[in-house]
Structure formats: structure tokens, C-alpha cells
Amino acid sequence: MNFCKPKILPVVFFLFIGTTAFGQCNDQLIDTALTKIESFTYLKDFKVRLKKAKKNSPQAARYTVILSKDTKYRFTTTNAKEYPGELIWTLYDSNGVVMSNFVASKSKAYSVVDMTCKKSGRYYLTYSFLGGASGCGVGLLSFRNKTKTIDELIDY
């Protein structure tokens, strides 16, 4: 029975190290992403860690979000410096692509994008890394309240 204990211990130790390294990458990125939301209110974070994509097998993380009409949303991204990948996202509704942080004509991914929602409903966020590179990143979704001016607050 004693011969089993040394074999189990290294496996448990390995799993602990792997989980800790992944957690540190994302926790640090969330803190960085939070500095980008400014006057917006945090809603949700999306932790994305993907291996390098194979030639005809793109890697992506998919999430569902509910957005409300006339609400301004801010989408932010932060990338881990230890990985080559640059996080890109695309927002879809039932009709197709609504918007993305990547502008192909400029070959540029923006880390902060604001959008005023035109229709309440279910939307789908897809995250991947530019060019199928491996990466670790965080996407953050935040919103700004509809009431903004002092006159609107007084009339309330």
C-alpha cells in the first residue's frame, strides 16, 4: 500500500501547478481590463485561453449574452504578454454579425469598443486569437446606465 502514495503525489502536484498558472494569467488580466471600463459598470468577464489553431480547425470560445435596447455597452480585451495571440471578438445576433473589434481593412484589433444596443435580445460573442495563434486573454463586458444628465435625474 505504501508504494502507491509516491505515484499519486506527483500527479496531484502537477494538477495544482497547472491550475494555478492558468488562474494567474486570467486574474491579472481581469484587473488590467477593469481599468479600461472607466465610467461603465462591470457586467461579466470572459476568460479565453486557446491553443494554436490547426490549419482547417479554428479555435474559438463562444458565449451567450442578453443585451438591452438603448443601453450603451463597452467591450474590452486584454492579452497576456507571455502569449503571441491577440484577442479578437465578434458579436452576433440571429441575423448574423453585429460588430467586431477587428477591422480587416486596417488589420487592427481594438481593445475598447463601445456600442449602443438597437434591439433587446440574445446575442452571441465569439472569441479567438488573430491568425489562430495561441493565447490567453480576457474580454470584459460593461454597460452605462441610460440616465446620464443631471436634468434627467432631477425630473425623476
Residue pLDDT, tens place only, 16-36: 333 334 444 657 777 777 778
What's the pTM? 0.74
Please give the pLDDT value at position 56. 76
Decide: 72 and 148 in contact? Cβ < 8 Å.
Answer: no
The upper half-sphere exposure of residue 148, i.e. CA atoms within 13 Å in the direction of its Cβ, equals: 9
- The 3-state DSSP composition of the chain as helix, strand, coil percent (nearest 5) reads 30, 45, 30
pLDDT attached to residue 127 = 96
Are 77 and 137 a contacting pair, CB within 8 Å? yes
Which CATH topology does 2-155 take? Jelly Rolls (2.60.120)
What integer pLDDT is reported at residue 13 of this predicted model?
39
Residue 72: strand pairing partners: 116, 144
Average pLDDT rounded to a whole number, residues 35-50: 88
Whole-number pLDDT of residue 26? 59
For strands 41-50 and 135-144, give the pairing.
Answer: antiparallel
Residue-range domain boundaries for the chain: 2-155
pLDDT tens column, 48-95: 999 998 877 888 999 999 999 999 999 999 999 888 899 999 999 999
What is the average pLDDT across 109-132? Answer: 95
DSSP symbol at 53: P
